[in-house]
Amino acid sequence: MSAKGGVGKTTASINISLSLIQFSANTLLVDCDFTSANIGTTLGFPPTTKNLHGALNKIYHITEAIYTHSSGLSVVPGSISYEDVKKMEYENIQSLFHDLSGPDYIIVDCPPGLGDEVIKIILAVDAVVIVTTPDLIAVTDTLKSLHLLRDLKKKVYGIILNKKTDNAHEMSIHNIQHFLETKIIGTIPEDKKFLTSMYYKNPFVFIFPENECSLEYKKIAAEILGKIYKDTAPLNHMEIKH
Average pLDDT over residues 99-109: 92
Is the per-residue pLDDT at 236 higher than 60?
no
**What's the mean pLDDT when you consider all of the chain?**
91
- Judged by DSSP in three states, 197 sits in helix
Model confidence over 141-152: pLDDT tens digits? 999 999 999 999
- Give the closest residue to 80 by CA, choosing from 116, 34, 120: 34
* 78 CB-side CA count, 13 A: 27
C-alpha distances in angstroms, 61 versus 39, 54, 125, 139?
20, 8, 20, 38
The structure's pTM equals: 0.92
Please, which pLDDT band fits residue 231 given cuts at 50, 70 and 90? low
